Structure 1
């Protein structure tokens, strides 16, 4: 993900802009203890506020008054008075300005010819482009694809380790995987009828005539399945670097370059004399499986794992400092990296208890739609972005696409299922969607009262009620009940609201996008909606290098401590006007950019380039392969 450079924060500014986090912490503790039913729907609140119990703010230590929301909307004009300093711009204004610079620099690297694109490839990748690169370029140009070499960084991050694995072993593992797409003689096929596999097959068939022979193993689960220990990955990457030779050799040699791919036998079952079977782990704790992918010196490897999730999860903002600037996300890549944030093991359902565990330490090519920072899968565009499913897209002829910004509701809207993992009576309190819906309960904020040291809690509650509409449509309970609202252990805390199609959700200006069991399939629709996506995620996807935070969307920390500050900045509060102009610009820029670089054609071009590179990794002559017609 492209992000502005991290800046060190001064202690004097940290406290002002982390104050909203205190409100979040108090709300988190509140929803653990209160039986109030949570539901904010078009301003109508249902709760039993009289039954609210007292709460505390243990495990949180931030100076200043609890409940303050950072304002910082105005600039100090003219010369400052004696003894006073000129006020800095609001941190979001700074981040938006830096994002524009980042985006301009990105566009400046666009290439417009085959030879120019090949030169940019060699400069960035340190080797010749793969055979078939000229076909890839023509296909991209014919489909009006914007070509910036940075857009394909994810491909090379994903594939680099496999240069350190023997090609024979790779071919054996891919052929013998139970769910795969095979390409032979320019034709793609599969024996699986799973709808994700069928969707990926449809995607690949758009480019199958340009593909060499290969087998493509697919992960059909929500959860990623491969976490190679950090120590083992270091060895693999060392072998990968040694196998590739020096940069000069890879980019200057042209006489002995192999310009074609191998053909594969339809039956590769005996390709390896002594195949190494894949061993699957099916039991947790899942956090212990994940953190083996982190550096041994990282905080996540050093801090003990949590095993008891009964109590309210503590919010540890010291672990967020690496990716925050004055209280807001400045580096989205770091924000989704679990290795410096051991506290998020209690703040997301995938870390607490995923629906399914089926994980291996072995490195083999496995393709999927999303992954965590420590996973080793190869990313494809997710099926949710390809299919015209009403859950994840808005029909092209829908009236929702023509709503002017000025006609949208000046607030936020979220509806969703209480997913994230397998929530149980003893673990649901830290699940991300439960936390987010809880902190958007105006009745709970009003009920806290001054006895809990919440500054102007009634004002805050009224503001949340007017600017936020968040509710579950299904409690997704770990019981045998088929009724969406029947869940004994959370039913006292949440009310279930009626679902709304995406065409009705996008009438709001701000659309928080919260992870479910894995990535959110609504993200692309939100980007195209003419509203502002406010994205909180721990997941990596194929398009991350194409989107610029604070230019195309608003990033949010997974702790949600910046949520109130984000909304107060854009919407306004207490008679102060928000920066509606900046919100409108982000909504328009994000929508236009999505229509430019996140179309189905862009997915096809990404897949074609990925699979050409993947086929080279599988080839016996991979170290000598390349496209060098421009150098002849």
Structure 2
């Protein structure tokens, strides 16, 4: 019996071994199939780190997304998303007049204005890119479609009597000219300064003057907009326009005195937050956010901290200025999301290129890794009555030159591969005195201006002042990085900066006329006005204190794309195309017979 057991044992062990091998093979097959299916699913969602959820939340109304996870570096995701959007715009762009008309009707639910075919021919003859991307014109003019033309002309006539403005007009079979100038009786602007922008507008329109309809439009010479919207008034006009009806101007709207917040929806953060006292600035935001939609990020209704961070809003007590009870038309060179001025392109500080070219060397030959800025202390009057310390330019200079405390910095580790098992950045506390010295060359230039005498003296002692330098100075051109911030209004220097071989970081509240035809994160780096994201984004491109984990090649690519964009999408011909289309639309909406001013295809 024992002999039989001993003989059977090896056979039983052989079966056991075979079963174990089969079980192991089956287990490995299941694991392999599971991993393969996961891998396929993940690849379909795009490359990611650490098999985290594939995308960030790009749905917030404030245009920001919060970096809550330790996965891919958010800047990489933003750049890749922007590149896809930019490519998509070009793939969808109309190629023929009939396609452009169809796209116009799809977007705006009406036929284009009379002369649209002439405009299209100009666009084709002058190689104007992205011919469908003119939503800002629609947004500026759409409320006027909800006002009866005769009422609109009466409002316009009253608007023409407002001081510090001039009227550009074109009568039938006549040339463009200045029809009227209205100067203030109190501290009037010099006539030359008041109409200084006219010649630039005339030069932009000269090539298409003979194709323009009759028009008459008031123009403000000031750097910033002045017509504050009321949410209910504007919404009523937009609702009427969408229904093909007109608002009843005999019914006076109820207008709470909420200052700039009057332009915001009742359920918006600005209205819900009950902004009462600008002297009590909100505490710094704890969440770490980055801009994914620059236009949305400029809206103070959804980002109320902008009311406390920008000179456009700071000179006023919380309940002023008063919103407009009527939608009136006046053109300016910039606009905000709470104003309803009509935006014009401008030739102020416009350049075709940087000369001499040797003063703007290629990226590889630029030797200064610091971010550069020089500028005046513009934005508002520096006095006891204004919260000037909160405004954008003093905030920038203070941040860049502060030597106290430390900054918690996201320092890139260089682990950018989609399947990397290491984090893409590490959190490091870096003393400001070391970090700011390595990161910034940011100073006020000249001497204090726009200040009461005692505040001029205070500014002179509180900040370091450097001489003004021309933008084509070789020392300026040696910098790889520039930052651009608003002044009294929009920053006219942006055109010069983006035409260089350097990478531009831009913080602004003004959605300029070219915004639909540029791509943030492809051509420039969008930065929040409170500069809360500046250190981390700059560290991504430049690297840490000693350049560790830098993304120099990405920065070079974006800088070169910005220069190419400037010389391809922001030519004089592009400004002419914009203003041509704007005045076709404006001439129609102001006409007593809008139907007659509508395009009729042959």
Q: Could you say whether these structures have the same fold, taking a TM-score greater than 0.5 normalized by the shorter chain as the test?
A: yes
| DSSP-derived class of the 1:492 partner | helix
Structure 1 partner of 2:259? 289
Cα displacement (A) at 1:240: 1.3
Partners of 2:201 and 2:141 lie apart in 1 by 19
Q: Is the 8 A contact 1:368 1:382 kept in 2?
A: no
Whether the 8 Å contact between 2:230 and 2:323 is mirrored in structure 1 is: no
Q: Distance in 1 between matches of 2:452 and 2:74?
A: 45
Shift of residue 543 of structure 1?
Answer: 0.8
Q: Contact 2:354/2:499 (CA < 8 Å) preserved in 1?
A: no
**Structure 1 residue aligned with 2:414:** none
Report the alpha carbon displacement of residue 336 of structure 1 after superposing the two structures with TM: 0.2
Q: Report if aligned partners of 2:523, 2:562 keep a CA contact under 8 Å in 1.
A: yes
Contact 1:405 1:531 in 2 (8 A): no
- 1:283-340 Cα offsets, whole Å, 9 max, x none, are xx9x94211010122121232335463x7x444427xx7xxxx632112122100102
* Number of the residue aligned with 1:93: 76
Q: Which among 175, 187, 193 is matched to residue 187 of structure 1?
A: 175
Is the 8 Å Cα contact of residues 410 and 467 (structure 1) preserved in structure 2? yes
Aligned runs of 1:496-575 on 2, under 5 Å?
A: 496-504=465-473, 505-575=476-546
Pairing 1:349–2:311 present: yes
CA distance in 2, matches of 1:15, 1:110: 33
1:409 equivalent to 2:368? Answer: yes
* C-alpha distance in structure 2 between counterparts of 1:14 and 1:332, whole Å: 15
Partner residue, 1:584: 556
1:495 aligns with 2:478: no
Gaps in structure 2 of 5+ consecutive residues: 1-55, 182-191, 251-255, 409-426
Q: Secondary structure at the match of 2:565?
A: helix
> What do the CA deviations read for 1:496-532 (whole angstroms, capped 9, x no partner)?
1111111133431111111111111111111111111
1:154-233 correspondence to structure 2 within 5 Å:
154-175=136-157, 177-178=160-161, 179-184=166-171, 185-190=173-178, 191-192=180-181, 193=192, 194-233=195-234
Are the counterparts in 1 of residues 298 and 508 from structure 2 also a CA contact under 8 Å?
yes
CA distance in 2, matches of 1:354, 1:385: 29
**What's the secondary structure of 1:551's corresponding residue?**
coil
CA distance in 1, matches of 2:60, 2:109: 33
- SS at 1:488's partner residue? helix
User: How many angstroms apart in 2 are the aligned matches of 1:413 and 1:544?
Assistant: 24
For the pair shown, the structure with the greater C-alpha radius of gyration is 2
Measure, in 2, the Cα distance between the counterparts of 1:95 and 1:229.
34
Q: 1:383 to 1:357 in 2, by over 3 A?
A: farther
Relative to structure 1, the CA distance from residue 7 to residue 229 in structure 2 (aligned partners, 3 Å threshold; closer, same or farther) is closer
After superposition, where does 1:275-286 map in structure 2 within 5 Å?
A: none
User: Is the 1:513–1:535 Cα contact (8 Å) retained in structure 2?
Assistant: yes
Instruction: Work out whether residues 226 and 359 of structure 1, in 8 Å CA contact, stay in contact via their aligned partners in 2.
Output: yes
Pick from 439, 445, 448 the counterpart of residue 475 of structure 1. 448
User: Is the 8 Å Cα contact of residues 220 and 332 (structure 2) preserved in structure 1?
Assistant: yes
**What is residue 110 of structure 1 aligned with on the other side?**
93
TM-superposition CA deviations, 1:327-358 (whole Å, max 9, x none): 32112122100102222322112211069979
- Count of residue correspondences: 494
Deviation at 1:410, TM superposition (A): 1.6
CA–CA separation in structure 2 for the residues paired with 1:342 and 1:308: 11
Give yes or no for contact 2:153–2:590 (8 Å, CA) kept in 1: yes
Structure 1 equivalent of residue 291 of structure 2: 329
Match of 2:341 in 1: 377
Consecutive unaligned residues of structure 1, counting only runs of 5 or more, are 18-86, 246-274, 277-284, 449-453
Secondary structure in structure 2 of the residue aligned to 1:239: helix
Give the Cα separation in 1 of the matches to 2:242 and 2:83: 35
Question: In 2, distance between residues paired with 1:352 and 1:363?
Answer: 24
RMSD: 3.2
Cα distance in 1, alignment partners of residues 357 and 462 from structure 2: 36
- Pair 95,129 (structure 1): closer, same or farther in 2 beyond 3 Å: same
Query: For each residue in 1:474-499, what CA deviation from the matched residue of structure 2 results, as whole angstroms up to 9, or x when unmatched?
Result: 33252258xxxx72333332121111
Deviation, structure 1 residue 132: 0.9
